[in-house]
Structure 1
Amino acid sequence: MTTRRVPRARAYAPDPDAPGRLCDTPGCEELGCYRAPKSRFALNQYFWFCLDHVRAYNAKWDYYKDMTPGQIEMELRADASWQRPTWRLGSNGTAHSVQEELLRDPLLHMDGRRPHVAPFETIEAPAELRQPLGVLGLTWPVSMDTVKARYKALAKKHHPDANGGDVAGEEIKAINSAYTALKLHWPAEERQAARG
């Protein structure tokens, strides 16, 4: 079984929308079956030429004629965005920065410390834990694993060996005492799991 290919129109085939009038070149008696834009300012308005005259017109066509190099550069840059208006990322076409409303995170996906807390839900920390949480820079509720990770990071940062032998005595004491207070708050089994 052989399949026949549908013949494709040749590149120089007459325009099917040709108005059926004579070529727009003065004195030419041929039918104007080929369109060409009148100018770069009127790309949707056409001259209708015969094949010989449309070839001659296309050979002389220069879209950038009479433009300065700066105008040509601006035209090329506009072509990169299909002649559509553009603006800086985040400005949304205005001079304002990204609106805070667009950055809301009601499900707290971007807040790694509290993924299990419902949106806008406020849970107050027990009174005896507020000061230790503040020292470690944590918010309530918090897991023992998070407390342990934060403690390790702060202890490493403020350890005298990490600071060229300088003694950061008060800071490291506050961090250690905050961690101890928080650690004692959790049941023994969770403390054991965090230790392992």
Structure 2
Amino acid sequence: MMTRKNTRHRAFDPDPDAPARCCDMAGCDENAGYRAPKSRDALNEYFWFCLPHVREYNARWDYYKGMSPGQIEAHIRDDVSWNRPSWRLGQRAARLGPDDFIDPMDLMDGARRTGPRAGTPARPDMPEALRQPLDMLGLDWPLSMDELKMRYKDLARRHHPDANGGDRQSEELLKSINVAYTTLRAHLASAREADLERTA
């Protein structure tokens, strides 16, 4: 009977990428197979220890050492949003219009849709990859290049950081708007080229 060889990495096995060197603990001549970050500000720089010394180092490791309670709380709050800028809805409500909300289930009853296509459901032939960019810009499908450019100019002017006192959240929102615009523009341009080739 054949037995399968277990190739899984066990929890206390040495790191397979460990360098061939001795433990970084002073006076230790054991092979170093376990890494530990050098500091909170250098998490990608490591000490290399043997197993007993990495356990000792980890037992004494305090990520928040030297930080005040206020700094610790701010750091934890940043971690909740993956260190991305965020804001309460009430802080930006005065600057946001109904077109700035993503409402894929149309819970706002079509209120965020404006223009000649208002209230019309998305066409079933809409590419799935365009659903999020269209929602980001508050546009419907099908879409013309002129409509896309007009909508982009309006949103870019409204959310540009220079028009909002250098606001960091406006900058982040504008980045998302730019990504959505680039995605839609590329799709429309390639579809247009395909149409021209078919008619040539």
Q: Give TM-score, length-normalised by structure 1.
A: 0.47
Q: Give TM-score, length-normalised by structure 2.
A: 0.46
Greater RCO, CA 8 A, separation 6+? 2
More helix, by proportion: 2
